[in-house]
Structure formats: C-alpha cells, structure tokens
Structure 1
Amino acid sequence: MCGRFAITLPDEAVARLFAATPSNDLPPVPRYNVCPTQDVAAVTSAGAARRLRPMRWGFLPHWYKCPTDGPLLINARAESIAKKPAFRDAASARRCLIPASGFFEWTKDAEGKRLPWYIHPAESDALAFAGIWQDWEAEGVRLTTCAIVTTAASTALSAIHHRMPVVVAPDDWPLWLGEAGHGAARLMRPAP
C-alpha cells in the first residue's frame, strides 16, 4: 500500500482547500487510477506560503544515476523513514501533502480473482496523504519526486490490507508541512 489512488477534485478546489497557490503545470483531473511514476499534485510549504505543484510519484534518492537505477520507491514506511538513508533527510526537511479522493486496495476471492476496494472518506471529497519529496538530477534531467508515507492499517482496514497511507487531518497540515514547528513524527500513525 499505497499503489493506486484517485483524485477527482478540480485543481482550483484543491488549491482553495489547502490555501495553496497552484502551479500552471499540474496533472489533469479527474483521475480515477493514479499510478506510480505518474505526476501527482502535492502541497509544499516554504514558511507560510503553500504551493500546489506537480511531482513524479516514485521517490528518487540523490545517488540514483537514472530513474530506473534502483527499486521504485513509491511508499516510505513510517516506522523506518527516519533511519533509511533514502528517506531520512526528506522526512525531516521536505514533507508534503498529497491530495486524494480515495485509494485502492485489493483482496482475492476463493478462486484467486483480485477484487478492488475503494477506500474514501465518508463525509468529505478529499483527504491528504503524508508525503516526502526530493529534487533529483542526473545528466541534465531534473525531476521533483515524492513518496507516500504508510503505516500499519487501522482496525477497520486491516481485513483488507495490513498497510495504509498516513492520512493527515486538516488541523495537522501545518505541523506536517513544518509550518507549526517540530513534532510531525507523532502524525505517522493509522487514522482512527
């Protein structure tokens, strides 16, 4: 988890929701099957100025010589993010929020057929995944990349999958983005 998600809100609505200035080159919406290596919209903050900007979903550590130089890092485990060399610096200094309408998980039926589950908020059109980001450059190619932070699944989701994205509540967005000081690590837990 998380390997696919959807975003159906228009860019203007997402920008208003997060009080962010949108870039002109955001990926098109609605998107019902966002896949790894595609561009996603992410919210970053520099001081109190938030931006909604595109990033490639698939974190590239600075030592990768090309985008396919190592494993595709679409997720970062909350339990080890601060210790992993690929993620450590981004976890402390480059956190983002990745807007989504919901995400997908799959189970298998008795015959082994994959069954999709769409997990989304019951009372809202949007949620925010905790993310980390990194600028990567090699041989004249520059990409801004990101990964979704995951944690153990909540009790409600554990029957479907053992992991889930860290969902950051609106009141905690400033803390995750670094606008409200230190303490973002305490947000890396399953949603209730």
Structure 2
Amino acid sequence: MCGRFVHTLPKEAMVQLFDAVPANDLPEGDNYNVCPTNQVHAVLQTEGQRRLTAMRWGFLPHWYKAPNDGPLLINARAETVAEKPAFRAAVRERRCLIPATGFYEWTKDEEGNRLPWYIHATAGAPLVFAGIWQDWERDGDALRTCAIVTTAANKTMSEIHHRMPVILAPEDWPLWLGEAGHGAATLMTAGPEGSLTFHRVDRAVNSNRARGPELIEPI
C-alpha cells in the first residue's frame, strides 16, 4: 500500500512538467509527511486541457453520506479496481496523476516496532503515481477526492513491502489520462527493477504531526 508520501515539487515546476494549468487552491509549501485526508496535488484531463488541482487524499464514493461514513479509501488495488463498485467508474472515466518526491513504507523489528523507510527514484526524478478521482457532494459540502492505485511489489520493493504504488513514466501519462485512447489497464504494473531506492529513516515520521526535511534523512 501507500500510506504516506513526500511532496516538495514547486508549483511552477509541476506546471511545466505536466504542461498543465494550475488551480488557485493548490497546497502551499513542502510537505515531508503527506497523510490521508490531506489535500494533495493532482493532474487531470478536462475539457481538452490538463489541469493541476487539489484533491483530498481519501476517495469518497458517491453513496457515502459523510466523509467518515465508511472505510478511508486511500489506495485502490490494480487487480480489482475495475470490479469494485467504489472504483470501477473512476478507473474508466476519471484517472489522474499524483506527483510525489518519494513515499514511506514500514517493516517491523523482532519486538514489533514499526521501522519507517523512505523510497524515492534512483535517478532523483519526481515520482508520478497513477490515481483515480471522484467528486463527492452532500448537503452543500463538496470535495474532490482521490486514491492511489497500487500493485504487487517488484523484487526490489518486496524487500520491505508486498505492495507498491503504480508509478507512471512520462511516456505513459497520456494513456493514463485518456489522451491516447484505450489501454490504461496495461500500465497498472510494478515499475522496472532498479528504478527505486530506499533507506531507513527516523521513527519520528510514524507520527502524523511530524514535519520537516529531517524526516527523510538516512539513519
């Protein structure tokens, strides 16, 4: 799964990277501990143009009566996303890109303590997760929400976890966004071996209140 990630990409860089028009309500500043229900950056295709916008990380199906009406859906499994009632329309019609600098995963030691790892691109480039999104509205409250698509880990990632986000290369973005026709399902696989690297970080990141660049420093 993917339960926390890091975002330190400047707005201007994302606008250029994705050739997207930015919204006015984007999250400000670096976030070294992006948590579920936070606002995140996402790129979607609408009205013939890419748009960089803000979304709540935590997908809300249209039948939820309130944001806490059911399970917090931060991830969607690639193997079942086309079948699950919550996700099947979104994966056909509402796919997005979710940029990140890196993400966290956890292992456990012999005493059961959770040990965090920071994962990022070996080449230092931004990561772009495959996402799906959903507009939710109830009693005057409106939210644009998203989930990250995950898949079985490749050999590299399986050393620390059995799942990983679907990470899209730039040449795959048009297909995922629906700009290049059909066939997005073929992209929902683990990335190539060697494209990611990871290191242990301090357990301070276990708290969702933790902030600051020291969270990704190796220990």
1:113 Cα shift? 2.0
Equivalent residue, structure 2, for 1:139: 139
Equivalent residue, structure 2, for 1:51: 51
Paired AA for residue 2 in structure 1: C
TM-align CA RMSD: 0.9
Deviates more, 1:115-124 or 1:93-102: 115-124
1:162 Cα shift? 0.5
What are the Cα deviations for residues 36-89 of structure 1, in whole angstroms up to 9, with x where unaligned? 001001000125410000000000000000000000000000000000000000
Give the TM-score of the pair, scaled to structure 1: 0.98
SS at match of 1:89: helix
Equivalent residue, structure 1, for 2:186: 186
Matched, 1:71 2:71: yes
Contact 1:7 1:102 in 2 (8 A): yes
Equivalent residue, structure 2, for 1:61: 61
Distance 2:143 2:182 in 1: 28
Contact 1:96 1:177 in 2 (8 A): yes
Distance 1:29 1:121 in 2: 21
1:26 Cα shift? 0.4
Distance 1:136 1:68 in 2: 12
- Report the number of matched residues: 192
How does 1:77-96 map onto structure 2 within 5 Å? 77-96=77-96
1:124 Cα shift? 3.0
SS at match of 1:134: strand
SS at match of 2:90: helix
How does 1:149-168 map onto structure 2 within 5 Å? 149-168=149-168
Using the aligned pairs only, state the percent identity.
68
Distance 2:154 2:18 in 1: 25
1:112 Cα shift? 2.1
Contact 1:9 1:125 in 2 (8 A): no
Equivalent residue, structure 1, for 2:197: none
* Structure 2 portions without partners, runs of 5+: 193-219
Distance 1:85 1:32 in 2: 33
Paired AA for residue 99 in structure 2: P
Distance 1:30 1:102 in 2: 12
Give the TM-score of the pair, scaled to structure 2: 0.86
Distance 1:92 1:24 in 2: 27
Distance 1:154 1:28 in 2: 33
Distance 2:77 2:29 in 1: 28
1:155 Cα shift? 0.6
Distance 2:154 2:51 in 1: 30
